[in-house]
Structure 1
Amino acid sequence: MEKHQLIERSIIKKYRKEIWNRFIKSVIRYDLVNEGDKIAVCISGGKDSMLMAKAMQLLQKHGKFSFDLVFLVMDPGYNNRNRQVIESNANLLKVPITVFESSIYDIVAGTEQSPCYLCAKMRRGALYSKAKELGCNKIALGHHFDDVIETTLMSMLYSAEIKTMMPKLKSSNFEDMELIRPMYMVREDDILAWKRYNELEFIRCACRLTEKCVLGDDGIGSKRQEMKALIKKLKRDTPGVDMNIFTSMHNVNLDTVIEYRKKGQRHSFLEDYDADKVDHNE
């Protein structure tokens, strides 16, 4: 078997429980892929998006319905080494990438406030725009289980709101376009194990403005790293606490929520408090 075939086999066989089954469960549970879709699988060059690309290829090959894929790589101003690593891995994995250029890094380099936020927003918009131009109705991003629970905690602790990373979203700026996250239930540790088993090396941070993380450090000291450390500490005392966080996002008890927003409108428990005669704490 060729290298790419061995890698594909490892997803379906060796890591069937940890990766393939959870990938499929995400697709089915959140209704992410439908008959006739044309999906732009967005590849940053990291382990998550590259594994997603292979899983989507396998789903297309073995799935029950027909859909099209475009493997989209945006070059926002990579240094030469990162660009070469991405192209080399795509060739090794037999992922037929479509690369397009942008000047996002040059633009972001000129701002002092929240460059990461601006960069992420611009990258998302550029991916939507190119995918729509190519006739796609969805873009797929490689966010995984750990990204989901870390984002939820960051929202609570640093933004003073309970806000999750959704498995799919309709675009507010690009008509008839949707974002999906097929890796939603796949854990980062299992992605790392798959990477090591297949002796693969991916870029970890493509930011030209932080050259120290070209192929290594991906942001020690960031808020996300703080969340990783916090969850790791909590798991030492309470195994399964990460799954509890994930499950709680699917199990919100609105009877005990003081206030919430829906479609821009704020609602309070006082709105129907007098009409509700049930003591929910009994």
Structure 2
Amino acid sequence: MKCKDSQKIELLKVMGRSIIDYGMIEDGDKIMVCLSGGKDSLTLLDLLYENQKIRIFPKTYQIVAFHITLSKDSISYKELENYCKERNIEFHLKLSDLHPFIANHENHRKNPCYLCSQIRRKWFLDEAEKLGIKKIALGHTLDDIVTTSIMNIFFNRTLASELPRLSILEDKFWLIRPLAYMEENKISSYVKSHRLPIIKSRCKIGDNKRRKRIQRLLNELEVELPQIKKNIFAAFRNPSPKFFLDNSFSPPDFKGKKYRP
């Protein structure tokens, strides 16, 4: 099927490159899209659905959507359910009391966002196992991956990033991030022009100040250095280990000790 929507085609091509580069999707895969209702996850679901019709990248697959509510009395998921119903996308729902649980958890003050992500990830795996699905798709973008990479340098003293394709439990499941090459501003524009039914975040607990600070810093630098996010992403794809400040890369006769300032 031909498509005259140039914006959609552009984003499908970007997503297709990341999928092919990292071998995220194979013919016959059944993929569970973790649908928070935010712009990133909904764009991911929309593009995977549209590609089934347009076939910008030639893979045959099935998609299902899985949404977790923050509270059991939430009805905000109805718009997402209707969106999926209109497109014959299988929709699965978990009505949870995640929000009040985290608010009352003894460790919620330290890092509520991390606690929430770990609980949701377990539920993702449980749902995928119940549905017999190996591929779990997350809506993380190039901006998210770069932000995490810089946070690991600044706060964790490590060169580590979010992998576009990650094995879980010895290949029992695979977490995939098809939007790994996608920039946030392109997604925001797509959501607006295609009027996707975004659910605004109602979380009043999580406030990841460190992440927001790094995002702000990167956005400020991007004004002067437009390619900075892509360059950081590329740097993590093209490391030069022999120039790392790690004694394991030193000559065999090196007698020094590892030093942590």
Amino acid at match of 1:108: I
1:201 Cα offset (Å)? 4.5
Change beyond 3 A, Cα 1:195–1:92:
farther
Q: Which residue of 1 aligns with 2:257?
A: none
**What amino acid does structure 1 have at the position aligned with 2:149?**
T
Q: Which moved more, 1:226-235 or 1:89-98?
A: 89-98
CA distance 1:81–1:71, change in 2 (3 Å): closer
User: Shift of residue 270 of structure 1?
Assistant: 2.9
Report the alpha carbon displacement of residue 175 of structure 1 after superposing the two structures with TM.
5.9
Shift of the 95–20 alpha-carbon distance from structure 1 to 2, 3 Å rule, reads: same
1:74 to 2:74 alignment? no
Q: TM-score, normalised by structure 2?
A: 0.84
Hey, what's the Cα distance between the residues in 2 that align with 1:128 and 1:168?
15
Q: Which residue of 2 aligns with 1:228?
A: 215
Cα drift, residue 81 of structure 1: 5.1
Residue matched to 1:123: 120
Range 160-169 or range 193-202, more displaced? 193-202
| Alignment correspondent of 2:231 | 244
Alignment CA distance shift 1:184-1:273 (3 Å): farther
* Number of the residue aligned with 2:97: 103
What is the CA distance between 1:94 and its match in structure 2? Answer: 5.7
Structure 2 residue ranges without an equivalent (≥5):
255-261
8 Å contact kept, 2:72–2:95? no
Which residues of structure 1 form unaligned runs of 5+?
1-7, 211-217, 260-266, 275-282
8 A contact 1:74–1:127 mirrored in 2: no
TM norm structure 1: 0.78
Q: 2:147 aligns with which of 145, 150, 162?
A: 150
Q: 2:184 aligns with which of 166, 188, 192?
A: 188
- In structure 1, C-alpha distance between the alignment counterparts of 2:50 and 2:80, rounded to whole Å: 20
Q: How many residues align?
A: 249
Aligned residue identity for 1:187: E
Matched, 1:25 2:25: no
Q: Percent identity?
A: 25
Aligned Cα RMSD in Å?
Answer: 2.7
What letter corresponds to residue 248 of structure 1 in structure 2? A
**Residue identity matched to 1:53:** L
Aligned positions of 1:26-65 closer than 5 A: 26-61=18-53, 62=55, 64-65=58-59
Q: Deviations over 1:204-231 (max 9, x none)?
A: 4242x44xxxxxxx95x72222112111
Shift of 1:183: 0.7
Check whether the contact 2:165–2:174 (CA below 8 A) recurs between aligned residues: yes
- Cα offset, 1:105, TM superposition: 2.6
